[in-house]
């Protein structure tokens, strides 16, 4: 080991308590950063899962103008797309849907809602509707045409129970008039997501197509990837394969730009937390190093007097900072693993809190990410070295004649 | 013979106007090789300032300082550091060893700065510590040595880099009489046998007794010089 490193290590061991406390500032900063990042990762994933895997799907195919205009006449022929989706190996499930904005009425109340016509078997490969049924049964393709699933909040608002009759009115594209049909509540679902539980009803796909006069056309084909993050990769060839002159396939980042923005903001919050922690930890390191330097002013005077260059003094202080940082980062990373694992085991239940219109329906658990143990420690190391520059410059600029004043 | 140190009308002033203090006032002095010189005088007479100037730790306000023929006031900070490293050995009053380094490492440090190969460093350190009577104590840290032993290490460190001159600032001030006398005898012997030039700043009568030249300072000026055989 070179003399500079030996000196650095031994100087740090001179005042073990101060070194320990300074190291803990760095360690706990890294641990806090790791935990913050792990929590943001976990929350982001939970939000995306809530937004996509609950009902919407990782991606959807629509008529090119449908999302902008929401015109119910802008429907697409599903067959060519369903055939292509069958051949896509990365696609785990897909479901055609007809979407209508209509009125739902019970004996007690009525409400404007979105009615979705679905293929029950295909829908189960994309959304969690089947698992969300709280009372009654999931839709049966071979069952009565009058089956309807309504959300738990909607059932409360309409004051209906299983088997009760309700009337659904939608616009018929052929007649341009309202089409009313009687349904019986066959199931009540509870997604634990307000928008779905209060404003949505599901009926059989052919039934709604018939009511709306759409023939075999649908408004939407939702599909999931084998891996959820595949939907965020906009350069994948699948998007062009599933798009035509009249229809376009889009991932959730394009379908829900507000969510994508929100996740970017979450990353920014990690950055802000990091900057604040860096400043606080940096000040702690500067303070610790200055205390150490002030105690050794006479010693630096001796070192300079016997011919040590100022750059060597500067390097010595940086070496002390580097040794301190490496030790502290090791401790911080270990603490980060332990704290993240503990928090992941316990989880944080936000109790169906809505963020940017997305209900976080599950317990949030911090998630490990390679960056937490590579990028963040490097940043903490750089921060520590930057914090050491000021004391190092101060030490290097000590005037030996002044430092040795007591002696010479 | 060329002097090791020459001060030419060297002055060092602090402050300005009404607060101007002339710590050293137009001092001209030559130190020849092999001298065992003591700069003496009351507190505030300018001993420390003179030693700082000739040691290249400070720059004169006026006049010039020449060490081995080189004007140190014209050197850059880096050149001055290298010059101190290669040409001057320092012994301070006390606490002048690096506490986290052993006796051997303290001596070796300056040779590391000089870029001397490890084998030669080790040999010179061992020989020098042996010469100052510290053989077998190479691996002791300063806090494991007595005050006299620490000053012996300081002497060894000052000499091991083979400087042109050793500047010692009251090296016996913190030692008891016997230890101080032993240290001085050792330095005197090094001066006589090896021709090493020593310049002391001191109040200590024991140093004055052994000095071959006494320079008396008062109010920043040379008041009197004594040459002894």
Q: Do residues A305 and B84 lie in contact, with contact meaning Cβ atoms separated by under 8 Å?
A: yes
First to last CA, chain B: 18
Q: What pLDDT is attached to residue A375?
A: 92
Q: What is the residue range of A156's domain? A: 65-244
E strand intervals along A119-235: 133-136, 147-151, 165-171, 178-189, 200-204, 220-225
**Where residue A356 falls among pLDDT bands split at 50, 70, 90?**
low
Q: What pLDDT is attached to residue B92?
A: 86
**Where residue A407 falls among pLDDT bands split at 50, 70, 90?**
very low
Phi-psi region of A25 (alpha: psi -120 to 50; beta: other; left: phi over 0): alpha
Largest CA distance in chain A: 107
SS3 content of chain B, % helix, strand, coil (to 5): 40, 25, 35
* Minimum distance, in Å, between the CA of residue A328 and any CA atom of chain B: 22
Question: Is B77 in contact with A406 (Cβ distance < 8 A)?
Answer: no
**Are residues A80 and A40 part of one domain?**
no
Question: Is B98 in contact with A7 (Cβ distance < 8 A)?
Answer: yes
Is the residue at A252 inside a domain? no
Q: What tens digit of pLDDT does each residue of A83-99 get?
A: 999 999 999 999 999 99
Distance, CA of A113 to CA of A364 (rounded, Å):
30
Q: Does B82 touch chain A (CB under 8 A)?
A: yes
What is the 3-class SS of A232-293, one letter each residue?
A: HCCCCCHHHHCCCCCEEEEEHHHHCHHHHHHHHHHHHHHHHHHHHHHHHHHHHHHHHHHHHH
Residue among B93, B100, B108 minimizing CB distance to A407 = B93
Q: What pLDDT is attached to residue B148?
A: 87
Instruction: Please state whether beta strands A59-63 and A220-225 pair in parallel, antiparallel, or not at all (unpaired).
Output: antiparallel
Q: What pLDDT is attached to residue B227?
A: 85
* Minimum distance, in Å, between the CA of residue B56 and any CA atom of chain A: 8
Give residue limits of the domains in chain B. 5-227
**Are residues A392 and A319 part of one domain?**
yes
Q: What tens digit of pLDDT does each residue of A145-182 get?
A: 999 999 999 999 999 999 999 999 999 988 888 999 99
Q: What tens digit of pLDDT does each residue of B183-219 get?
A: 888 889 888 888 889 999 998 889 998 999 999 999 9
**CATH class label, B5-227:** alpha beta
Is the residue at A102 inside a domain? yes
Instruction: Give the mean pLDDT of chain A.
Output: 91
**Where residue A127 falls among pLDDT bands split at 50, 70, 90?**
very high
For B161, name the nearest residue in chain A, comparing CA atoms only.
A306
Phi-psi region of A142 (alpha: psi -120 to 50; beta: other; left: phi over 0): alpha
Residue among A3, A10, A400 minimizing CB distance to B112 = A3
**Are residues A229 and A136 part of one domain?**
yes
Q: What tens digit of pLDDT does each residue of A272-315 get?
A: 888 998 999 999 999 999 999 999 998 999 999 999 999 999 99
Question: Is B169 in contact with A298 (Cβ distance < 8 A)?
Answer: no
Among residues B211, B155, B213, which one has the least CA distance to residue B179?
B155
First to last CA, chain A: 34
- Ranges of residues in chain B with a pLDDT under 50 are none
Instruction: Please state whether beta strands A200-204 and A147-151 pair in parallel, antiparallel, or not at all (unpaired).
Output: antiparallel
Q: Is the ipTM value over 0.85, yes or no?
A: yes
**Are residues A11 and A106 part of one domain?**
no
Count CB-CB contacts under 10 A for residue B67: 23
| pLDDT surpassing 70 at residue A406 | no
Phi-psi region of A342 (alpha: psi -120 to 50; beta: other; left: phi over 0): alpha
Q: What tens digit of pLDDT does each residue of A254-268 get?
A: 888 888 888 888 778
At how many degrees (to 10) do helices A375-396 and A310-346 cross? 150
Among residues B43, B38, B63, which one has the least CA distance to residue B53?
B63
* Minimum distance, in Å, between the CA of residue A405 and any CA atom of chain B: 9
**Are residues A351 and A271 part of one domain?**
yes
Domain endpoint, select from A213, A244, A275: A244
Q: Does B112 touch chain A (CB under 8 A)?
A: yes
Q: What tens digit of pLDDT does each residue of A39-70 get?
A: 888 888 888 888 888 889 999 999 999 999 98
**Are residues A153 and A47 part of one domain?**
no
Phi-psi region of B9 (alpha: psi -120 to 50; beta: other; left: phi over 0): left
**Are residues A84 and A47 part of one domain?**
no
Structurally, chain A folds into a number of domains equal to: 2
**Are residues A163 and A210 part of one domain?**
yes
Q: How far is CA A205 from CA A16, A180, A202, A385, in A?
A: 73, 16, 9, 64
Count CB-CB contacts under 10 A for residue A214: 21
The strands making up B21-31's β-sheet, listed across from edge to edge, are: B21-31, B5-14, B62-67, B70-71
**Are residues A347 and A235 part of one domain?**
no
Distance, CA of B90 to CA of B55 (rounded, Å):
8
Domain endpoint, select from A218, A244, A270: A244
**Are residues A300 and A176 part of one domain?**
no
Q: Does B198 touch chain A (CB under 8 A)?
A: no
- Tokens (6 digits) for A100: 């209508």
Distance, CA of A377 to CA of A330 (rounded, Å):
9
Q: What pLDDT is attached to residue B187?
A: 87
**Are residues A265 and A192 part of one domain?**
no
Rounded (5°) CA angle A7-A9-A12: 105
Average pLDDT over residues A194-201: 90
| pLDDT surpassing 80 at residue A355 | no
Question: Is B100 in contact with A303 (Cβ distance < 8 A)?
Answer: no
Domain endpoint, select from A198, A216, A244: A244
Is the residue at A408 inside a domain? no
The strands making up B197-202's β-sheet, listed across from edge to edge, are: B88-91, B165-169, B197-202, B36-40, B213-218, B221-227
Residue identified by tokens 């809190």 is A353
Count of CB pairs separated by less than 8 Å, A with B: 80
**Are residues A318 and A225 part of one domain?**
no
């Amino acid at each position: 080991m070179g003399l500079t490193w030996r000196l650095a290590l031994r100087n740090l061991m001179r005042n073990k308590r101060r070194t320990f406390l300074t190291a803990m500032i760095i360690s706990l900063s890294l641990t806090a950063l790791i935990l913050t990042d792990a929590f943001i990762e976990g929350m982001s994933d939970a939000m995306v899962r809530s937004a996509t895997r609950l009902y919407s799907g990782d991606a959807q195919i629509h008529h090119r103008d449908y999302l902008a205009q929401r015109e119910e006449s802008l429907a697409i022929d599903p067959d060519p797309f369903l055939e292509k989706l069958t051949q896509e190996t990365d696609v785990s499930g897909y479901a055609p849907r007809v979407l209508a904005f209509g009125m739902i009425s019970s004996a007690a109340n009525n409400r404007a809602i979105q009615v979705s016509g679905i293929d029950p078997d295909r829908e189960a490969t994309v959304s969690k509707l089947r698992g969300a049924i709280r009372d009654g049964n999931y839709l049966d393709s071979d069952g009565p045409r009058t089956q309807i699933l309504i959300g738990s909040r909607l059932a409360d608002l309409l004051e209906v129970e299983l088997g009760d009759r309700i009337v659904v009115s939608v616009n018929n594209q052929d007649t341009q008039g309202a089409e009313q049909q009687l349904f019986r509540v066959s199931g009540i679902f509870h997604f634990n997501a307000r928008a779905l539980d209060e404003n949505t009803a599901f009926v059989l796909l052919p039934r709604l197509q018939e009511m709306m006069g759409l023939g075999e056309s649908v408004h939407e084909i939702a599909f999931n990837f084998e891996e959820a993050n595949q939907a965020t990769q906009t350069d994948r060839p699948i998007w062009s394969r599933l798009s035509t002159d009249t229809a376009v396939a889009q991932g959730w980042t394009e379908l829900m730009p507000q969510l994508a923005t929100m996740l970017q903001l979450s990353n920014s919050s990690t950055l802000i937390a990091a900057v604040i922690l860096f400043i606080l930890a940096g000040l702690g390191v500067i303070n610790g190093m200055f205390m150490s330097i002030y105690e050794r002013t006479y010693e630096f005077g001796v070192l300079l007097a016997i011919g040590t260059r100022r750059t060597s003094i500067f390097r010595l202080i940086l070496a002390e900072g580097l040794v301190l940082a490496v030790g502290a980062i090791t401790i911080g990373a270990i603490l980060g693993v332990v704290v993240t694992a503990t928090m992941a085991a316990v989880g944080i239940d936000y109790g169906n809190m809505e963020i940017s219109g997305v209900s976080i329906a599950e317990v949030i658990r911090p998630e490990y990410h390679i960056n937490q143990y590579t990028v963040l420690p490097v940043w903490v190391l750089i921060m520590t070295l930057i914090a050491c520059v000021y004391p190092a410059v101060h030490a290097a600029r000590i005037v030996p004649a002044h430092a040795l004043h007591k002696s010479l | 013979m060329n002097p090791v140190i020459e001060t030419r009308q060297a002055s060092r002033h602090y402050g300005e106007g009404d607060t101007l203090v002339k710590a050293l006032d137009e001092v001209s002095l030559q130190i020849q090789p092999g001298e065992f010189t003591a700069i003496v005088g009351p507190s505030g007479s300018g001993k420390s300032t003179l030693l700082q100037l000739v040691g290249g730790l400070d720059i004169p306000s006026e006049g010039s300082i020449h060490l081995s023929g080189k004007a140190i006031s014209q050197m850059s900070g880096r050149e001055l550091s290298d010059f101190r490293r290669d040409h001057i050995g320092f012994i301070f009053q006390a606490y002048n060893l690096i506490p986290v380094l052993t006796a051997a490492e303290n001596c070796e440090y300056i040779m590391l700065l000089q870029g001397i190969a490890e084998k030669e460093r080790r040999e010179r350190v061992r020989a020098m510590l042996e010469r100052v009577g510290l053989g077998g104590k190479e691996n002791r840290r300063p806090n494991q040595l007595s005050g006299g032993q620490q000053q012996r290490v300081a002497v060894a460190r000052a000499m091991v880099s083979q400087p042109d001159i050793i500047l010692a600032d009251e090296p016996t001030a913190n030692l008891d009489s016997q230890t101080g006398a032993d240290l001085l005898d050792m330095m005197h012997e090094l001066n006589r046998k090896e021709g090493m030039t020593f310049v002391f700043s001191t109040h200590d009568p024991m140093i004055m007794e052994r000095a071959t030249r006494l320079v008396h300072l008062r109010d920043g000026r040379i008041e009197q010089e004594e040459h002894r055989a």
